[in-house]
A = this chain, B = another copy of it.
Amino acid sequence: MTATEPVDLSVADLHPALGDPALTSMNFLNEVSERYPAAVSLAAGRPYEEFFDVAAVHRHLDTFHRHLVDERGHTPEQARRLLLQYGRTKGIVHHLVARNLAVDEGITVDPEAVVVTVGCQEAMFLVLRALRAGPADVLLAVAPTYVGLTGAARLVDLPVWPVAGGPSGVDLDDLRAQARRARAEGRRPRACYVLPDFANPSGVSIDVADRRRLLALAAEEDLLLLEDNPYGLFPVEDGPRPPTLKALDTDRRVVYLGSFAKTVLPGARVGYVVADQRVAGPDGRVGPLADQLAMIKSMVTVNTSPIAQAVIGGRLLEHGCSLVPANTRERAAYARNLRHLVAGLARRFPDRPGRPAVVRWTVPAGGFFVVVTVPFAVDDALLDRSARDYGVLWTPMAHFYDDTAPVCALRLSVSAVTPEQIDQGLDRLAALITDQLLGGRS
Which of A's residues lie within 8 Å of B, judged by CB? Answer: 1-3, 5-19, 23-24, 26-27, 46-47, 49, 52-54, 57-58, 61, 65, 77, 79-81, 83-87, 118-119, 121-122, 125, 129-134, 148, 151-152, 154-156, 252, 261, 265-270, 277-282, 284-289, 292, 295-296, 298-308, 311
Contacts and interface: CB of A to CB of B under 8 A. Distances in A.
Given A46-B86, A282-B19, A118 B118 contact: yes
Nearest to A24: B295
B300 A133 contact: no
A1 B278 contact: yes
Contact of A7 (B52, B79, B151, B286): B286
B9 A277 contact: yes
Contacts of A267: 83-87, 305-307
B301 A3 contact: no
B81 A152 contact: no
27 contacts: A1-B288, A3-B286, A7-B278, A7-B279, A9-B279, A9-B280, A10-B280, A12-B133, A15-B131, A23-B299, A26-B298, A47-B85, A52-B80, A52-B84, A54-B80, A57-B83, A84-B265, A84-B267, A86-B266, A148-B299, A151-B298, A151-B299, A269-B308, A301-B301, A305-B308, A307-B308, A307-B311
Nearest to A277: B8
A311 B289 CA distance: 33
A254 to B, nearest CB: 11
Contacts of A311: 307
A289 B1 CA distance: 12
Q: Which 8 A-B pairs have the closest CB atoms?
A: A151-B299, A84-B267, A269-B305, A118-B301, A8-B277, A86-B266, A305-B308, A7-B280
Contacts of A134: 16
Contacts of A132: 15
Given A57-B61, A80-B49, A9 B289 contact: yes
Interface centre among A122, A154, A298 (most CB of B within 10 A): A298
A3 B286 CA distance: 6
Given A27-B295, A58-B61, A295-B23, A6 B278 contact: yes
